[in-house]
Structure 1
Amino acid sequence: MSQATFSTHPAKSGFEFDKGPALVTAVLFILVGIAIAQAVDLHQAALYGLGGMLGIALYHASFGFTGGWRRFSVEKRGRAMRAQLLMIGVAAAAFIPMLALGSPLGNPIVGAVAPVGVSVLAGAFMFGLGMQLGGGCGSGTLFTVGGGSARMLLTLVFFIVGAVIGTAHLPMWLELPSLPPMSVGREFGMAGGLAVTFGGLALIALITVIVEKRAHGTLETPPVSLRTGMIRLLHGPWPMIWTGILLAGLNVATLLIAGHPWSITFGFGLWGAKIAQFIGIPVETWEFWNWVGPAKALGNSVLADNTSVMNFGIVIGAALAAALAGKFAPKVRVPMASLLAAVIGGLLMGYGARLAFGCNIGAFFSGIASGSVHGWLWFVMAFAGSWVGIALRPVFGMDGFRK
């Protein structure tokens, strides 16, 4: 591919970027936004734009949950996990009061609050296991696909397949023991809900600090980047803490514009159902796709689905970020065992996310930020599944608990 090369010396203001891919992705990003605005409205195009900003931020900070959880489990380094917890806390500081108001800007909003039951227990465990085999979580899969990863594209394909199968089986799972949706904001009031949420997040952060100090004697310091200003903005890396705060802000914006928090995996199930319909599988007869929300989404264009347009934005935004960083380099040579792990991981994540009412974004991030008890249960079970997944990675030729 062609490249425009500038000096990368920190004293100068230039940078390297992949000129061809940058131009293509920039034009594509604009054209898709225009298409969404014309096909639906500017409101939907704004959500697509938010997705683009999320993709850029996720890519430049390498803000993936999978790697952060693995680093803590294997290396006893918790910097990434603490950034995730801070992100959730910042979002919760806005979410819980806003949800208590109900319509802070005149439009009704709802949180990511779901039932607490067997389906969440099983689904979250499957998701955690799958993300370590697949190599990415819900958001991580999207931004790495945007960055040019062929392996993660395979993970995404089977993520979609697993999500569709999950829609077929979810009604059966919901017949198993379950408690109704519970929110700490409703149970303890706004102040009490905030206190419980902040206390829980702080406790987990403290555990990571204790574990890391016992293993290493001191906490890991963030890497120092010689890039500054516009060079760092376009080329990265972005500081993980500040990126977490930015992601929290973008999730708050999503809540206000979409009326619900950021989510990812419903879009995967919808894409798969649309494809299944096209090849003659009557998914419209399945119970899940006859529920009001899913039925409406299945009957409309994917461009009318909030989650889908944000997902499109994440992928294209990440591709643009990769091109501007000079890192857009699709890789197609992947060991067969690793490809098998991607298939299994994708299936487990898609199926598990549907059973657990979301992934690391919809259930963990948006769920806990909304005050949902199911978000905390999701985290515990997904982390347990992640631990098992790490232990299984060597079976597929990937690093696990081995250093």
Structure 2
Amino acid sequence: MLSSLRRPALPAQPVVSTGLGLNRLISATCIVALVVLAAGVWLQPGGQWRLSALALVGAGIGAVLLRTSFGFAGAFRALIQERDASGFRAHAAMLALASLLMLPMLAQGHLFGQAMRGDATPVGIGFAVGALLFGAGMQVGGGCASGTLYSLGGGNARLLGTLLGFVLGSALGAWSMGFWWSLPTLPGVTLQGLIGFGPALVLQLAVLGLIWRLGRGVKAPSRLLVAGGLALALLNALTLLLAGKPWGETSAFALWGSKLFTAAGIDAHSWAYWRRPGFNTQLDRATSLDITSIMDVAILLGATLAAAGSGVFRPRWGGDLRAWAGALLGGVAMGFGARLSNGCNIGAYFSAISVGSLSGWAWAALALAGSWMGIQLRPLFGLDPGGRRSWGRARPEPVSAQAG
């Protein structure tokens, strides 16, 4: 996912040919689908214009991710395999702008009739296990949650396995949350809760500036990659303004999986995860009223539209059976881990740090450790074929040449 910003090279394996006519057809289909989605969620009972606006924001996120190749899993892998911190420098720029926009919004409390909420996640044993699992899973599965959606939108069919694993793992995580919540946990803390809004913002920007500076002397992130991160920061702030909460992705997968379990005769209503106030009605509500579900579908459509509109949509299998097995297992690990740690690279890292939650920094450190473990497993699934399998001493092909 931390690829170069040139137009992606054609994959070595055979792909389905996509001519100009097919790309135009796919573009038109995506536009129609986005219009139907935006209009449908507004006009349905209980719908509102904010949901339609969030669908458009989601499409914008998908387009930015696809066109800039802005990623998270690849940034972690590049740092470990190549000591390449350019991805994290781009993350620092993104987080700095998001903090500069979102912390003042949270300090206001309400904006345009919408309450602003940036909850802090408690950090405990379950959280740590979840972040480690997610870090490992995103290296085996071929991408994190955002990477899964935008890579799938670009035509990589293997990410279907990752998405299916995400849904299954998220449901299993929701089912088991009663146990994980019973384990020792520290209360959630925000930086602004500790030292106040002004000092919190100054300290956060100083830390992110230090991360940017420490990365100097190594490979610099391209301008387009940094621009992608800044665009995502703006879109996350817009999400907070419209939804009252920052961008997240994986809670929708837990909802979809739990609904499927319930339809199959395993009633998820009794799970501790869904008995919480504010969650106990979600299983019975229409999925089309769920903000995260709407945005996830829109991200996929926006990425597909961006790929087809620029002529780079390429349907392909994305690997052999081993790679597909890795995608499925990685997806399960990420889905399960995301529930334990209350999010993924977006909700538990990007959005958490942007709203001042100290859990975001803890998640990043743990996910980096989990990524190291996942990298050691990649050759088992036919990934990093140019490297020699050895614990911590693989000689991989450059990350920029890899998918995800």
TM-score > 0.5, shorter chain as reference: yes
**RMSD of aligned Cα (Å):** 1.7
CA distance in 2, matches of 1:201, 1:41: 37
CA distance in 2, matches of 1:197, 1:317: 31
1:4-403 pair list within 5 angstroms: 4=20, 18-39=23-44, 40-209=47-216, 213=217, 218-220=218-220, 222=222, 239-332=224-317, 334-399=319-384, 401-403=394-396
Shift of 1:334: 2.2
CA distance in 1, matches of 2:249, 2:316: 25
Shift of 1:362: 0.3
CA distance in 2, matches of 1:322, 1:118: 40
Q: Deviations over 1:130-181 (max 9, x none)?
A: 0000011111111111122111111000111000000011121111111111
Letter of the structure 1 residue corresponding to residue 87 of structure 2: A
CA distance in 1, matches of 2:76, 2:18: 37
Q: Deviations over 1:288-318 (max 9, x none)?
A: 1111222222121111111110001100110
CA distance in 1, matches of 2:312, 2:18: 13
**Does the 8 Å CA contact 2:89/2:221 hold for their aligned counterparts?**
no
CA distance in 1, matches of 2:78, 2:292: 29
Moved more, 377-386 or 168-177: 168-177
Question: Where does structure 1 differ by over 6 angstroms across 4 or more consecutive aligned residues?
Answer: none
CA distance in 1, matches of 2:318, 2:285: 38
Q: Which 5+ residue runs of structure 1 have no aligned equivalent? A: 6-16, 224-238
Shift of 1:381: 0.1
Q: Deviations over 1:105-133 (max 9, x none)?
A: 33211114211211211111110000000
Distance 1:171 1:202, change over 3 A: farther
Letter of the structure 2 residue corresponding to residue 297 of structure 1: Q
Shift of 1:2: 6.7
CA distance in 1, matches of 2:266, 2:155: 31
CA distance in 1, matches of 2:276, 2:337: 20
Shift of 1:353: 0.5
CA distance in 1, matches of 2:18, 2:375: 39
CA distance in 1, matches of 2:311, 2:192: 45
SS state at 2:113 partner: coil
Alignment identity in percent?
A: 38
TM-score (norm 2): 0.88
CA distance in 2, matches of 1:332, 1:299: 36
Q: Deviations over 1:44-69 (max 9, x none)?
A: 11111110000000110111101122
Shift of 1:42: 1.7
Q: Deviations over 1:190-226 (max 9, x none)?
A: 12211232233233334433xxx3xxxx534638xxx
CA distance in 2, matches of 1:156, 1:203: 35
Alignment coverage as a number of residue pairs: 370
Shift of 1:84: 1.3
**Does the 8 Å CA contact 2:190/2:357 hold for their aligned counterparts?**
yes
CA distance in 1, matches of 2:58, 2:318: 29
Distance 1:286 1:249, change over 3 A: same
Letter of the structure 2 residue corresponding to residue 162 of structure 1: G
Distance 1:186 1:333, change over 3 A: closer
Letter of the structure 2 residue corresponding to residue 309 of structure 1: I
**Does the 8 Å CA contact 2:248/2:343 hold for their aligned counterparts?**
yes
Letter of the structure 1 residue corresponding to residue 143 of structure 2: G
Distance 1:66 1:254, change over 3 A: same
CA distance in 1, matches of 2:315, 2:18: 14
Moved more, 166-175 or 307-316: 166-175
SS state at 2:114 partner: coil
**Does the 8 Å CA contact 2:87/2:221 hold for their aligned counterparts?**
no
Letter of the structure 1 residue corresponding to residue 341 of structure 2: A
Shift of 1:333: 5.9
Distance 1:273 1:221, change over 3 A: closer
TM-score (norm 1): 0.88
Distance 1:276 1:356, change over 3 A: same
CA distance in 2, matches of 1:268, 1:132: 19
Q: Deviations over 1:216-268 (max 9, x none)?
A: xx534638xxxxxxxxxxxxxxx111111111011011001100000000000
CA distance in 2, matches of 1:387, 1:2: 37
Moved more, 95-104 or 196-205: 196-205
Which is helix-richer, 1 or 2? Answer: 1
SS state at 2:232 partner: helix
